[in-house]
Copies of this chain bind each other. A is one copy, B any other.
């Protein structure tokens, strides 16, 4: 019985864009188990403030060197404390948790679309898809659409490019790439499968798009969590049928067409 709870060593923790931090953790067991779309449930402090753990997507995992990467934006107390942690400290994590993106589809044209911090799980996904494609000799170019508030808050672009993806960038203020939203860019293309993560308005537009073009789509959702493992029923998200699902256990990845926004 695997105990999915670890004290991971912080190998690196640095700011990679405005308020965006990249933390590398040494945790061989979790690195081995992780699949794209899963998350870590992290204790940000060893005091009672903040009390609850914080869910953060796995942005990369390297089974060989036993490390996991996360990328997070400082938005409140928990992430502020995370950002103050130093190399060499250890951190209490539960995970990998959640279901992850299904990547076994035999498809040609894949679109990955992310907004802001929603980019994080997509990085790990992109890497796995690239590995799978190079193995299977599938050389079709896949597209990535990323949206950021502003150039200063952008990250990950070179990562996707280095994997061979065709990367399209937009920013709200036009300081980098197209001025607008990534959903504006994707409207010109057609795909067999879409993987998405980002703010709700972006996902709602993608849902309409995917339904219109009848494209199989998977989305990673966010909801406030307490336990992170399906025990408290705290992270409910309403589905078109079947009532509420738990983001932490049934998700965070869902079929986009089934979600009610």
Contact = CB atoms under 8 A, between A and B. Distances in A.
Interface of A: 45, 47-50, 77, 81
9 contacts: A45-B47, A45-B49, A47-B47, A47-B49, A47-B50, A47-B77, A47-B81, A48-B49, A49-B49
Contacts of A77: 47
Contacts of A48: 49
Nearest to A50: B47
How many copies of this chain are found per oligomer? 2
A251 to B, nearest CB: 30
A16 to B, nearest CB: 23
Q: Which of A45, A48, A50, A81 has the most CB of B within 10 A?
A: A48
Nearest to A45: B47
Contacts of A81: 47
A48 to B, nearest CB: 5
Contacts of A50: 47
A242 to B, nearest CB: 39
Nearest to A44: B47
A24 to B, nearest CB: 22
A45 B84 CA distance: 13
A77 B77 CA distance: 19
Nearest to A47: B49
Contacts of A45: 47, 49
